[in-house]
Every structure is written in C-alpha cells, then in structure tokens.
Structure 1
Amino acid sequence: MDPNWRVLSGENKWEGLLVDPIGDDFRRYIIHYGEMAQATYDAYDSDENSITGGNSKYAMDELFSQVGLGKGRAKKNYTITKYLYTTAAFAPFNKDTNWMGYVAVSTDQETKEAGRRDIVVAWRGTNEESEWLNNVGILQQPASEIFGDIGEDDIPSVHGGFYLIYTSNNSDSTFSKISVRDQVLKEVSRLVSIYKNETISVVVTGHSLGGALTTLNAIDIARNVFKNQDEDSNSNLVTAFAFASPRIGGPMLRDSAASLKNLHILRIENKPDSVPDFPNIGYRDVGQLLFMDTEESEFLKRKGFIGSKGMAHNMEIYLHGVSGTQGVEKKFKKDVERDISLVNKHGENLVDIYGVPIAWWDEVDKAGMVQMEDGSWKTKLIINKKKLVTKWWKFFLLFICY
C-alpha cells in the first residue's frame, strides 16, 4: 500500500510539494495520470475517411497496450469501463459527435498496491474544427446544471464554449444521446456504488481543452457525485490534474471550487506556453499551480517564436517538463527518468543527436521504434547494433575458450 497517496492527491493542497525542486515521487505521480491523458491523443483517429474517424482507434480492453501503457514502468493496471463522447450544438456541426476520453478503474492488483480503488477520468484536447470554434469564445454563462441546487444569483458562470461541449447532447447520435456530463457522472456514480465499501479516489486528468473539461468535471463530481458525503470528511478525494488548461471561469467559480473540502485541483503550466494565460478579462485561475519552464531543457530543440509556442503546448513536452523541471529559477535535470524518445512522438522536438525519428508515432511500423520490456522505446537500428555487439562478444569468448 502507498501511504502517501492522499498527500500526493492534494489532501493538504500539496503544501511542501510544489517547492523547487519537486520530489521524484510527486513527479511520477503526476506523470502517471498525465500519461493517461496523453493516451487520448495517441488513440484518437482524426482521419475523416477512416472507419474509426472521430473515434478511438482501439477497443477499451486494448487501448492501454496499443498506446504503449502496457509494459514496464509505463504499465497501467486499470480497466477502461466507459468511452466518453461529445457533440457540437451549433451549425454546421449540429451532429458532429467525437470520442473525447474514457473512465477507468484500478484493477484489484493496482488497488492493493495503491491503497485505494482509483477511478480515473481522462479528457482529450482539441482536434476537431467544432472544438476549436468552441475554444475561441470568451463569453461566460451560468453553470446551472452543475450548480442547480443553489440560488440563481449564486450560480458561478463559466466559459460558454467549454460548458457547451460539456452539457450538449444529440438525440440523433448513437454515442451522445445524453451529454458527456451525464455520461461521465453516471459512470463514476456506478463505480462508486460498486466499490462503496472501499476507500475511493477519483482523479480527473486532461490537456488543453481537456484540461478545461478536467477542472469543470472535477468540480461537478465533487459537488454532485459525493454531495451526500460528510462535509468534514476527506474520505473520498477528487483530484484534478489539468495540463496546459485555459481559464474556465471567474472569481465565483474559483471560490466555489475552493470551498469543496474533498476537491483538489492542480494546474500544470509551462512558462513559454501562452494558452494557460487566456482568457484573461473576467477570468481567474482555479486551484494550485505547478509552474515549469521547458526552455531550460537541453534535450529540446530551439525554435522560432511560433514553433516554440507550439512545442511548449504539446502534452509530451509537458510530461518531459514534469520529469526534468527543477523549478523556473534552476537548471533542468540532465538525466530525466521519462523516456526522451517520446518527445518526438508527434513532432520534431528532440535534438538530433539522439537519432529518434520525427513524428514517429503515426508512421508505418512506428518508423522503426520498438517498445522494450521496461516500457522505453528504442529504434530497431540501436537494437540491432546491441545484438551485433552481443554476438561478437560470444564469438570472442568462444575463441578464448578454445
């Protein structure tokens, strides 16, 4: 059992953990959930001509193994129980339904090791045109579906576009007849009921648009799934790890979130990434902050202004940043624990001396990248060189012996 999970999940608002540099146990904890958010990008099929276009490329029981989370230190001992779908509710995207993430629960083995039954909700970031159009607005609207049990004047307002994605449904769709909000609350409630006699944690994780939905959803779960929980109890913690999230609401939302004793929100922000700074007028940050600067990493390429901004917002760059940050005022780690090959998974971000193919994830045969038993990735060239060296050593030893 892990006796520190409550602290790592923010029971004490991560007091003492957000200092420079953060501890390695905390790094691994954040990366563990960040990888579950990254999985939504790796599994999403954005090809409109594909039979799985707009959906996950993989079935629920094979997603983790297919996206590289089935081996070694990357392995996730979780069972995905529900896929989540969103819909656009404005022309010309009225029937635009897309896969947006999943709900998963820890296996018995993971539960024993972790010290609690862990329920995870993972949200994908922006990929579709309808999602981009929802992102760019700045107007707010009352979040009445989340805060419907309080007086109308006390209902916090949230970003209208994010709220629309979260609460819209499409009666003509097979997948989103009910809103993604109803989908996720129904599934989390079902799992909480099944494991009601166990200690339960709920962790919500996502990047960019998914980070915004993470915060919105975590507040919703804390208020409405655990609404009958003793106000003085922290027995069932709800934690949000929001990577590169834009702001989602104003002071009322910030204060409402802060008032929920079982809710803990951590925003992970990269200094050169401008997305977390918007919208600004009328908006406030929610939760605690882990701030880092990936421009200090010697592993990453130096690009122009636009290229640097794009790279800084990439989820794999965020995970690399968590792995190596020593704080914004200190040097980046020279020996990071997380595999640096993943930095080039969807882009050209790693310096060339490491010989990792560019944007290798979607290439045929992963551009020659192979996952090792420890969860890391190597090129076939490196693997073959090692085999060749091993063969020569065997030959040399046989020569000496005879």
Structure 2
Amino acid sequence: MAARLPAANSCLLASSSSSVNSQRRAAVRISAVAAPSIATGIATVVTAPKIAVQHTAPVSTAVSRATPALASVWREIQGCHDWESLVEPALNPLLREEIVRYGEFVVACYKAFDLEPSSKRYLNCKYGKKRMLREVGMPDAGYDVTKYIYATPDIAIPTQSGASCSRWIGYVAVSSDEESRRLGRRDILVSFRGTVTNTEWIANFMSSLTEARLDPHDPRPDVKVESGFLSLYTSDDSSSKFSSGSCRQQLLAEVSRLINQYKDEELSITLAGHSLGSSLALLCGYDLAELGLNRNGRNQRVPVTVYSFGGPRVGNPGFKERCEELGVKVLRVVNVNDPVTKLPGVIFNEGFRDLAERYELPWSCSCYAHVGVELSVDFFKMQNPVCVHDLDAYLGLLKCPKMVQVVKKDGVDFLTKTMELFDAWKWQDAAMQVGNLMQSLNI
C-alpha cells in the first residue's frame, strides 16, 4: 500500500486527476518576509505535464493526523510519481523541507568557494573535505563530503594567474548512518554551485545545440544539449593541480565508487544545483542513467533525482524525452522573473512547439525544452535586481509555510501564451545584465 502524505496547513493533499497532456496550473501566494532583499513577493506553483511512470499507485491523499516520517515516503518525496499531488494544490510540507535542505547544500558551495585572487586556493574550496560543511555553518548536515569536483571551461579567457584553468564547481557527499536511518535510505548527494567567473557566464550563453553522445555504444543523435554546458561537463585541464580528469570523469568515478561501497543498502542519488550548476546536475543525472551506472548490487535501479534552482534549459525535446524514459526525476524551482530560466531558447522552446503543433507549422528538434516538474516563485518590488536569481531569495520564500494561500488557475489563454512567446526576446539582454551584476558583486 502506498504511504500517505499530508498537505500544507491541514496535513492533507487534494487528489490530482491531471493527465499526461494536462496544462493545469496552480498558484501559491507566499509573503517574502523571510527574504531580506525583497519587499513583497508572490510564489506561483506550475506543474509540467505529467510523465507516464511504471511504479505503484500514487501516494494516497486520505486524511492523516500526523505528518509521516520521511523514511516511510522518501520515494514519493524524491519524485517517483513526478510529485503528483505534492506540488498542487498545496506544496507538501515534507517536500518543502527537502527542497530547502538540498538548496542549503548548494548554498554551501558558494560560501566555500575562494574568489580571492591572492589566495593559494583561488578558484578552489577554502576548506578541506572533512570540515567544509562545518565551516559554512552546517555542522549537523548529516553528510560526509567524499570528493571535490572541478570543471574546466573550454574557453580561452585567462584568469589572473595567467592561464585558463579548472575551478571548484561542487562536491559529492554521502549520508551518515544516523542520517540514512532518518531518510530511509543511503543518499548519495552531488551539489553544484552556479555561475561566478566570466568564462562560466560565456558557457551559459553559447546557446547552440550539439549531440550529447555520452554513451559510446548508443550515441543517440536525436538527443542534443547546449554546447557550453556540455563543454564544461566534459572538458579536461591536464595542468590542474587539484583535479584529475574532466568534471564528468570525476563524477562518474566517485558516484560509481559509492554505489559499489553501499551496494547492499537502499540507495538514492540526489543532484542539486543553482543556475549553471543545475545544468551540470541534470547532465550528470542523465549520464548516470544513460550508462546504467545507477544500479545497486542487486541490479536494481537507484532513483536519480535532480533539484534545480534557477536553472536554464539544457537540451532539446529529444533530451527531455530520453530523461523521462530513463526515469530521471527533475524538480525545477524557478522565479518567473528570473531571466536565466528563460535561456537558452528564448523563442524556439516548448512554447513554440505547442504553437507549431496547434497550427501545423514546421518546427525543428533544434528547439530547447525544460525537463521535469516546475515549482515557480514570483518575487517583485525588489530592492536589488540581482535577487531575481539569488538562491537565498528562493529559499527564503520557501521557508514561509504559514504564509501560504492557494490560488488556482485552470488553463492558459492562447493569446497570453503567444504574447509571452514574442515578449521573450527581452530576456537575453536582461540575463546578461544580471550576469554582469552578479560578477561585479562576486555572487
């Protein structure tokens, strides 16, 4: 029997009857009191069309007097049913807590990243693996960092040290025995920071699709991803004193090692990232599933879940469909006013595809498409425009469960969608401005 989950406020989730092609939307108003850089705010929850999955029945929405322990419902919280009834009509409190928890692991990447050019650890992590989480204010996180991950932008822009080089992009960690008991499984976590350096911003805006070809035995030419993200994921800097191999090689080796180490336990693989980091998280999740590396000692598939914060589109519809076929679950947390989430593909995206299919217009697989279920927040009247892409602002709103009121919208007006489609041209310039602001502020 499926475990039972509560909804916000009344510990009750209303059932959802949306089909695979449903376009229903739900809105959640959230006060921005917890976000210091925002005067007021609104958060909107938008669920993407549901994907057909081969699992047991969805989580029951019957009344429960108490919130169930995470250990008993972790598969649902990790998206085994594409978060059906957990996002709408109200954001489930357990899911909220998990989103914030994984978001804080990403914040740790920013706090630990050394951006001081005179430092010996410039572009590296400030701390050793054993004390990193403690130094950034997470001594009770319940995870042990096992490996640091480095990425190399394949762009010839020298750093202040005189040459382009790899830089610390995130880390791999695994839940402790005590935390694993609370979670109901041993969790392998991969966390990525977002864009900070100039070369990484350029990687964000390359905006050209290329074949992923991550599986040498089945290249799948219909699966295409953004070239800048793929380059950052696969490029190698042989001169780096910190890393050995590309970001991809480091990740696949370490995650495989941990799966083998804990092969007889219940496992999950969780990837979390902000901005550019969310792109790397999705590429890694797809890569692990495509190569079949997410298998435990009993040859059972280990669930792969991506928590994306303020992430751009990563690939084409072929990439999206393949992720769904492989069972890679993606929960996208985005601010509707964040220009980075509109890129790449400001025009040729899933919205253009819907328009083309409705009016039988030609369209190409060169379009971009978001992957997964979307949880949208909408903050406005900002004291600082940079906060539209700020991870702390995202998490600040999500930490306000008592301020939630449900406002539901069924359907989307066609004219409105069309106007939004053509209005999207402005986002390219806006995103570059946000990038310049973030760079100047060392965000």
Name the TM-score, length of structure 2 as normaliser.
0.67
> Paired residue for 1:183?
250
Output one character per residue of 1:33-68: Cα deviation in whole Å (capped at 9) or x when no partner: 111011000111111111221011111111111111
Q: Would you say the 8 A contact 1:96–1:130 is kept in 2? A: no
Q: Distance in 1 between matches of 2:245 and 2:405?
A: 43
Q: Relative to 1, partners in 2 of residues 1:152 and 1:252: Cα closer, same or farther, differing over 3 Å?
A: closer
- Of structures 1 and 2, the larger Rg is shown by 1
Q: Which residue of 1 aligns with 2:102?
A: 33
State the Cα RMSD in Å. 2.3
More off after superposition, 178-187 vs 271-280 = 271-280
Judged with a 3 Å threshold, the aligned counterparts in structure 2 of structure 1 residues 177 and 65 are, in CA distance, closer, same or farther, namely closer
8 Å Cα contact 1:223-1:260 kept in structure 2: yes
Does residue 294 (structure 1) correspond to residue 379 (structure 2)? The answer is yes
Deviation at residue 312 of structure 1 after TM alignment? 1.6
Match of 1:150 in 2: 218
Residue in 2 that maps onto 1:316 = 392
Q: In structure 1, what is the Cα distance between the partners aligned to 2:296 and 2:127? A: 36
AA in 2 matched with 1:57: K
SS at match of 2:392: helix
Matched-pair identity in % = 34
**Distance in 2 (alpha carbons) for counterparts of 1:223 and 1:328:** 38
For residues 224 and 193 of structure 1, the distance between their equivalents in structure 2, rounded to whole angstroms, comes to: 15
* 313-322 vs 192-201, which moves further: 313-322
Q: Supply the distance in 2 between the matched residues of 1:187 and 1:158 (Cα, whole angstroms).
A: 23
Asked whether 1:269 is paired with 2:348, we answer no
- Structure 2 counterpart of 1:255, which letter? E
Partner amino acid, structure 1, of 2:249: D
Name the residue aligned to 2:344: 279
Deviations 1:162-200 (A, max 9, x none): 111000001122233310100011000000000000010
> What secondary structure does 1:293 align onto?
strand
Q: Deviations over 1:262-320 (max 9, x none)?
A: x211111112212111112221111111112233xxxxxx336xx33x21210101111
Higher share of residues assigned helix: 1
| Structure 1 residue identity aligned to 2:132 | L
1:303 aligns with 2:382: yes
Could you tell me which of 227, 231, 240 is aligned with 2:306?
240
Match for residue 355 of structure 1? none
Q: How does 1:181-260 map to 2 (within 5 A)?
A: 181-226=248-293, 235-260=301-326
| Distance in 2 (alpha carbons) for counterparts of 1:113 and 1:119 | 14
Structure 1 gap ranges (5+): 296-301, 331-361, 363-402
Counterpart of 2:177?
108
Verify: 1:9 aligned to 2:78, yes or no: yes
1:322 to partner: Cα distance: 2.0
> Is contact 2:317-2:369 (8 Å) kept?
yes
Q: Residue 347 of structure 1 aligns with which residue?
A: none
Q: Which amino acid aligns with 1:33?
A: Y
* 1:91 aligned partner: 156
> For 1:9 and 1:160, how far apart are their aligned partners in 2?
29
Report the Cα distance in structure 1 between the residues aligned to 2:271 and 2:375, rounded to whole angstroms.
16
Q: Distance in 1 between matches of 2:242 and 2:189?
A: 20
**1:232-252 CA distance string (max 9 Å, x none):** 96x511100010001011111
Q: Deviations over 1:146-174 (max 9, x none)?
A: 233325534x1111111110000011222
CA distance in 2, matches of 1:152, 1:220: 13
Give 1:353-392 correspondences, 5 Å limit.
Answer: none
Task: Give, in whole Å, the separation in 2 of the partners of 1:115 and 1:91.
Answer: 46
Alignment counterpart, residue 188 of structure 2, candidates 119, 129, 142: 119
Contact 2:263 2:296 in 1 (8 A): no
Q: What do residues 317-363 of structure 1 show as CA deviations (whole Å, max 9, x unaligned)?
A: 11112223737848xxxxxxxxxxxxxxxxxxxxxxxxxxxxxxx9x
Moved more, 47-56 or 2-11: 47-56
Partner of 2:124: 55
Counterparts in 2 of 1:114 and 1:227: CA distance versus 1, 3 Å: closer
Query: Distance in 2 between the 1:318 and 1:178 partners?
Result: 33
Cα distance change, pair 328–130 in 1 and its aligned pair in 2 (3 A)? farther
Tell me, yes or no, if the aligned pair for 1:157 and 1:250 is still in contact at 8 Å. yes
Q: Where in structure 2 are there 5+ consecutive unaligned residues?
A: 1-68, 349-366, 409-441
C-alpha distance in 2 between matches for 1:136 and 1:292? 23
Paired with 1:132 and 1:275, the residues of 2 have a C-alpha distance of: 11
User: Is the contact made by 2:90 and 2:406 (CA closer than 8 Å) also made in structure 1?
Assistant: no
Counterpart of 2:273 in 1: which secondary structure? strand
Provide, for residues 65-120 of structure 1, a one-character-per-residue CA deviation record: whole Å limited to 9, x for no partner: 111111xxxx3111000000111223234632110100000111111221111000
**Which residue does 1:141 correspond to in 2?**
210
- State the number of aligned residues: 314
Q: Distance in 2 between matches of 1:22 and 1:46?
A: 36
If asked which structure has higher relative contact order (CA below 8 Å, sep 6+), I would say: 2
Q: Is the 8 A contact 1:121 1:204 kept in 2?
A: yes
The secondary structure found in structure 2 opposite 1:103 is: strand
* Pick aligned residue for 2:226 from 145, 156, 159: 159
Q: Deviations over 1:352-387 (max 9, x none)?
A: xxxxxxxxxx9xxxxxxxxxxxxxxxxxxxxxxxxx
Of residues 170-179 and 210-219 in structure 1, the stretch that sits farther from structure 2 once superposed is: 170-179
Residue correspondence of structure 1 range 327-338 to structure 2 within 5 A:
329=407
Q: Aligned to 1:126, what secondary structure does the other structure show?
A: coil
Asked if structure 2 preserves the Cα contact closer than 8 Å seen for 1:84 and 1:180, the reply is: yes
1:150 alignment partner AA? D
**Which whole-Å CA distance do the structure 2 matches of 1:327 and 1:47 have between them?**
44
